[in-house]
Structure 1
Amino acid sequence: MSHVHGPGCRHGHHHGHAHGAHGQGPAHHDRAFAVGIVLNVLFVAVEAWFGWRADSLALLADAGHNLSDVAGLALAWGAAFAARLRPTHVRTYGWQRASILAALANAILLLVAMGALALEAVQRLGAPHPGDAVTVMAVAALGVLINGLSAALLMKGSQDDLNIRGAFLHMAADALVSLGVVGAGALYLAFGWAWLDPLVSLAIAALIVAGTWGLLRQSLHLAFDGVPEGVDLVEVHAWLRSQPGVRSVHDLHVWALGTSDVALTAHLVMPAGHPGDAFLIALADGLVHRFRIGHPTIQIEIDGLPDGCVRPARLE
């Protein structure tokens, strides 16, 4: 077990650092990203062409949105790659934070694109005109297949990684939106409602903004070192306090290194003396299995005297 010293803390205490078995970072999803990007680039070209031919705002707007999705997929892929780069002497945590910033950038990109879409749709709603509903339905049906496949490729990784979840949500939302466009085209053919096209565009914007808001909130929270979703700091504190020989816990911090790796630092006051490496190994194992915290750093203190570190709000 290696021994390290936190910045600004007194050197007369013992520190232990260990990585849990599950703190190995995101799985590689290179193939899923590559396939998703290629399929969506081709679909953007098809959708823009037929949207122009059919004079359909819904298709043209969705082509623009899908182009932003291509950029989002590329951004997420680049961040996932950067997060796998090894730490260096000047970047001791590597580039893991890139995945958080990519998720945040994706959320902002989507919100801006949907704002532009909504503005154009409102203007067109005041003067609707008919389009080629059959073409719109055919292209939208192709979108259901392409976006659905792209989402399926990213589904597994989206469960544990906010960056991949952002890309997955884009694809899944697009598949549902395309399905809605097919339905709107069918209603237009049945009833001749020309105003359905801009109305569907507004529905697209509202649906994507609603789905993106959570991504924006979570990524912004993690960018400012907030406690990751699913980790209860009070519960972590209580669990550490309950360990044998621990009298008190202070300077407890939990934050995200990236979108799939959680770090913890804490000072444990243990008057009986340093418990040994076996205690630290068991502690790291418990943290990763109970709280999915895979990067813990623990400082053992014998007397619990002030050590110069900044104290957070007390939890005990």
Structure 2
Amino acid sequence: MKPPHEHAHDHPHPHDQSNSRSLKAAHEHFFLGDNHDRNEKRTWLVIAITATMMVVEIIAGNMFGSMALTADGWHMSTHAAALLIAALAYLYARKHASNRRFTFGTGKLGDLAGFASAVILALIALLIGWESFRRFQSPMAIDFNEAIIVAVIGLVVNLVCAWLLKDDHHHGHDHGHDHGAGQDQNLRAAYIHVLADALTSVLAIAALVFGSLYGWLWLDPAIGIVGAVVIARWSWGLIRDAGGVLLDYVPEGEDLPDEIQEILVKEGAEIVDLHIWQLGPGHHGAIVSIVVDHAHAPSYYREKLAAIHDLSHVTVEVEARAA
């Protein structure tokens, strides 16, 4: 019988070649998402497209005396700056993935970047709402034809960027039901930034078309407020989910605890303490304390838990039940 509280860490098992989350990889604490490199490249590509569009609009605006083009160009610059947070997070996480000073790797850096981007998105929503409210009080003359052209160009660019950033998994707000999805909150934040910009373009086009037809100047700020509310809601969902990961919150519907319980109960073990947290997209860690009548080595239980695909780092504590 093994002494109580013996620990098992993630050492490779010679017969576990089929498990894509190899225990050797987990021991190296490399917890980046499966599509980390692809997502990083796409984010940089979106920044390049956005920056190019920004330069073209600012130059064209100055050449043709168009304030609408110039203003949208500077708006694109803030958009590129927000996306830069995501790109730099990918770069830093990749460069330092093997740095052992990060105790559990750099997989959570994307969640930190996503949280920061969500706060920026909330501020953008607040600014849009405030500016729309001011325009209710002081309506401004609008060059409808020019503004519609700018909004359409912006929409096309944003739709292309959204397509590039679209993840293979859904982008809704209820992700706790499927830990297998391994959602990248950093990519989600970049996607929502682009989607928010596309939404404002769609709403602007609608407001401008009806405004030009019926002279409804009030419609532009009214739709601006609607857009601000929608963007704020997206921002809150991202703050909630990314913040939850940073605080090691186990979302409702997460079935990892049940999977661990099911496997260990079959081995005659009683779980007395269980801690689960996310290490990165598609990677989770667990510390499990069990009490058993006839104890095996901790590595025995760890190998049983290796069947759970997203459980990448496991520590097992075994204690013999008191007679």
TM-score by length of 2: 0.77
- Paired AA for residue 271 in structure 1: D
SS of 1:257 mapped into structure 2: strand
Residue in 1 aligned with 2:222?
Answer: 199
Q: Structure 1 residues 226 and 79 mapped into 2: Cα distance closer, same or farther (>3 Å)?
A: same
Q: Cα deviation per residue 1:190-235 (whole Å; 9 max; x = unaligned)? A: 1111223322322322221111110011111122121257524652
Residue in 2 aligned with 1:215?
Answer: 238
Residue in 2 aligned with 1:293?
Answer: 311
Residue in 1 aligned with 2:156?
Answer: 145
Q: Distance in 2 between matches of 1:297 and 1:66?
A: 47
SS of 1:266 mapped into structure 2: strand
SS of 1:251 mapped into structure 2: strand
SS of 2:280 mapped into structure 1: coil
Q: Is the 8 A contact 2:93 2:107 kept in 1?
A: yes
Segments of structure 2 that go 5 or more residues without pairing to the other structure are 13-18, 171-182
Residue in 1 aligned with 2:180?
Answer: none
- Paired AA for residue 164 in structure 1: L
1:154-303 correspondence runs (5 A)? 154-156=165-167, 159=170, 160-227=183-250, 231-232=254-255, 234-236=257-259, 238-246=261-269, 248-274=270-296, 277=299, 279-285=301-307, 287-288=308-309, 292-303=310-321
Match of 2:91 among 69, 74, 81: 81
Q: Distance in 2 between matches of 1:161 and 1:203?
A: 28
Q: Highest relative contact order (Cα 8 Å, sep 6+), 1 or 2?
A: 2
Q: Cα deviation per residue 1:13-55 (whole Å; 9 max; x = unaligned)? A: 1424268624752211232111110112233445567599555
Q: Is the 8 A contact 1:269 1:304 kept in 2?
A: no
Q: Structure 1 residues 130 and 145 mapped into 2: Cα distance closer, same or farther (>3 Å)?
A: same
Q: Cα deviation per residue 1:238-270 (whole Å; 9 max; x = unaligned)? A: 324433232x11221111223443221112223
Q: Is the 8 A contact 2:302 2:314 kept in 1?
A: no
Q: Is the 8 A contact 2:104 2:279 kept in 1?
A: yes
Q: Distance in 2 between matches of 1:224 and 1:183?
A: 41
Does residue 121 of structure 1 match 2:132? yes
SS of 1:174 mapped into structure 2: helix
- Paired AA for residue 17 in structure 1: D
- Paired AA for residue 38 in structure 1: A
Q: Structure 1 residues 95 and 280 mapped into 2: Cα distance closer, same or farther (>3 Å)?
A: closer
Does residue 108 of structure 1 match 2:143? no
Does residue 25 of structure 1 match 2:32? yes
Q: Distance in 1 between matches of 2:234 and 2:85?
A: 19
Q: Distance in 1 between matches of 2:285 and 2:126?
A: 36
RMSD of aligned alpha carbons: 3.1
Does residue 34 of structure 1 match 2:44? yes
Q: Is the 8 A contact 1:128 1:194 kept in 2?
A: yes
Q: Is the 8 A contact 2:4 2:319 kept in 1?
A: no
Q: Distance in 2 between matches of 1:276 and 1:253?
A: 16
Q: Is the 8 A contact 2:298 2:316 kept in 1?
A: no
SS of 2:311 mapped into structure 1: coil
Q: Distance in 1 between matches of 2:75 and 2:284?
A: 32
Q: Structure 1 residues 151 and 14 mapped into 2: Cα distance closer, same or farther (>3 Å)?
A: same
Segments of structure 1 that go 5 or more residues without pairing to the other structure are 1-9, 306-316
Q: Is the 8 A contact 2:263 2:304 kept in 1?
A: no
Q: Distance in 1 between matches of 2:223 and 2:56?
A: 19
Q: Structure 1 residues 262 and 233 mapped into 2: Cα distance closer, same or farther (>3 Å)?
A: closer
SS of 2:266 mapped into structure 1: coil
Q: Structure 1 residues 101 and 14 mapped into 2: Cα distance closer, same or farther (>3 Å)?
A: closer
Q: Cα deviation per residue 1:90-126 (whole Å; 9 max; x = unaligned)? A: 2232332321110110011111122122212211211
Percentage of identical aligned residues: 26
Q: Distance in 2 between matches of 1:258 and 1:143?
A: 33
1:156 shift after superposition:
2.4
SS of 1:88 mapped into structure 2: coil
Matched length: 289
Residue in 1 aligned with 2:16?
Answer: none
Q: Cα deviation per residue 1:48-107 (whole Å; 9 max; x = unaligned)? A: 675995555x994x6665433322211112212222333334223233232111011001
Q: Distance in 2 between matches of 1:157 and 1:64?
A: 31
Q: Is the 8 A contact 1:17 1:298 kept in 2?
A: no
